[in-house]
Structure formats: structure tokens, C-alpha cells
Structure 1
Amino acid sequence: MKPGAPLLQSTRLLDQVRERIRYLHYSLKTEKAYLYWVRFFIRWSATQSGDMRHPREMGVADVEAFLSMLANERKVSASTHNQALSALLFLYREVLNIDLPWLNNIGRPQQTKRIPSVLTKDEVAGLLAQLDGVTALLARLLYGTGMRLMEGMRLRIKDVDFDRHVIIVREAKGGKDRVVMLPRSLAPAMRQQMLAARAQWEADRQVQR
């Protein structure tokens, strides 16, 4: 048990994984991915040994065989392979509290570096011209601020500062907050969207009465 980490209350392994992930404030996408790989690892191991075993009973041979299967039979990408390995590292270290030396010696595949494709200003303008409504506003907001998709989807009114022309992005990557600039050209559309959202909220509240 790591210092400061509370005792797990759940008795089932997958529930323990979920409990520890939520205590550490990992994202929902990470939670789903880790649960998938832990479940896959256990079920795959059962097909190899003929019986369902707890990860405590497994070791380096099982983990390496699983990762080799992903690379050679499933032919997963380097990023997928790393995700599976990260899930197993989390299982053993954070959930089972087993810091096995061999975990540090398992190599991670090198990802192929590729030159990203970047649209020109004219291409971006043409793309944005095909959008309308809230979708267009969101696309322009992401392009103008550099926010990620889910950051834009989760944006709240209280985090938009029109006086300073900034947006506070809450719980961004790594669980950290950050500030981005609000393009002045988007301010009128943002204000209009806020008024529309307020009107929708008022209408919904009247219906519920």
C-alpha cells in the first residue's frame, strides 16, 4: 500500500481497479481502457492455462506472453501496445500493490514518428464555411484557442471571461487548469450562445414547474 492511499473497499478485482482509478482522478476514457485491458488479460490467460487465475498468481511470463500476442497475432499499434502495458502496470502497482522488478524491464515499442498534416489557412476557412450553428462556433473555438474537443464540449459559462478575453480550461490533460486566449472575433457569437443557453434553461425550468 502506497503512503496516503486508502484501503480498497471493493472485493472484486475490476471494481478495485475502478475504485483506485477514480481515487487518482484519472479520466473516464482511461478508466474504460484500463478495465478493458485487465479483463482481456485475465480472460486471455485463462485460455492459455485452462483455468481462470488471479493476476497475483501470474508473473513475468504471463505478461510478456500477453504483450507478445498483442504485437504478433493481433498486430496492434505501438500506442495500443503501450496502453495495454500501462494498464497492467497500474493493476500490479496501484491495485495489487505489487512492485515487481521485472515490470521495469519490459520494453515499450517505439512509436513511428510521422510528419503531421496541417491544413492551410484557406483550407481551414473553407472547412469552417461548411459549418453552421453551435457546431460552427465550437469548431472556431477549438481552432482559435487550441482547446481539445472534450475541453470545448465541457466549457462552462463561468469559465469565460469577456473582460480579459480569456477562457479558463478546467481539469485539462494531467488534471491541471490552464488559461487560453478568447479570440475577439468569437466574443459576439459566444455571448449570443450564452443567451440562447440561458433561454433554453429558463424554458426547461418553466416546464418542470
Structure 2
Amino acid sequence: MLFLILGKGKTGSLVAEVARERGHGVRALDINENQHASALTAPNLAGVDVVIDFTTPEAAVENMRAVLALGCRIVVGTTGWYAHLPELKAIAERREGGLLYGTNFSIGVQKLFRLTAELAKIEGYKFGISETHHTSKLDAPSGTAITLKQIIHSVQPGIDVPIESHRVGDANGEHIVTAKSDYDIIELRHDAHSRRGFAVGAVRAAEWLNDKSGVWEFREIFDQL
């Protein structure tokens, strides 16, 4: 398969490396080479099986619009753009494009999501979330932390779930879900030792999306990988 990677930052570069290791062809563009999705034209996407986006929220929306309008497929690891999801779903449906997005492509984090849903069933506890990332991460709280909060609210609507965000050095990503009572404390923790887990998940997601039309969130399909 041929992948076009949008974004040559730390994660995007690692996605390209993993894709090559898995036997795929790779092209990559940084944000200056693709301003306002200018490089995402029909001729440039000819032969590309899946586009993979790790850019910024603003750039990702423009990229998705361009890719989906051409009936192509895109995996998006960028977060912070979800207010535009209804519009992008409509484009994908109209043009028969494919969109697979997620707040976190780590398989370990996907398991954390499921464990959090189970933990949220416990009553009489106060919940909290802590997340730590590198200082260059733009969004706070992280998309993963927001997803964890949404999972808890899906089980116990309306309860207070504070999120503490920390930006420290070159931290790869840590998320802790805490449930406290008057008698004890329960913690679920995922600590990424490397960004490689995110990259492998993104590449496997792109392999899954090939030849598919529709819109999916990564949590919906990761069991199929």
C-alpha cells in the first residue's frame, strides 16, 4: 500500500518509519508543503491508498475536507477538531470517502478506555483524571483525557470528573484515572514509554481503512485489527 503522511513531527515521522517497516510505500508532507491542503489534489492523491494526518486541528479539518471530497481515505490522529465531525461525515457519505479518527491509536489506551467504562460502574466514588504530556503538545486537556471523561459520564451522567493537565519535558504521555472513596482509592494508569505504540496503531488503522467507505472512531474497530 502507499500512504501519504501529513505532518513530519515526532509522531508523524515515526508513523512513516513504522509504515516502511511493515512493507508500505510512504510519502510525507510537512505543514509548509501542504498549506491549506493545497497539495491534496486529485493528481497528487492518485495511487495513494490512505492519507494519515498528524498535524494541527485547523490543518486537519482542511485536509479532511480535501481528501474526503475526492472520495479518498484518511486516518486522523490529530485531536481538537471534533466540532466539525457532522460536516465531515456528510462529505464522506456524499463522496463515498473513508474517515477513521481517534483520540489515541495505542492499543494499550484502547484497553484503558474499556477498563474505565467498567470502573465507572462503581458507586459512591469520586472520579478524577490526570494527564501528562510533552511541553510542545498544543491541546490541554488531551483528547485521550476528554475521551476518558466522556466514558465515565456515559455510565454516570452529570458527575464531576476534574482533569489535571501537566506539560513536562519530552513526556510521551501518561493518563491516570482515579476513583476515591472514604475508605480506599482505585487507579487505572497507562504510561507510554514510547510514541511507537501510537504509530503502530495508526498504521494498522490505515491498513484496515483501505478500500472502505464510511466514518468510524478507532474505539469502534480496533478489535478488528
Q: Same fold (TM over 0.5)?
A: no
Could you say which structure has the higher strand fraction? 2
Could you say which structure has the higher helix fraction? 1
TM-score range, shorter chain: under 0.3
Normalised TM-score (structure 2): 0.24
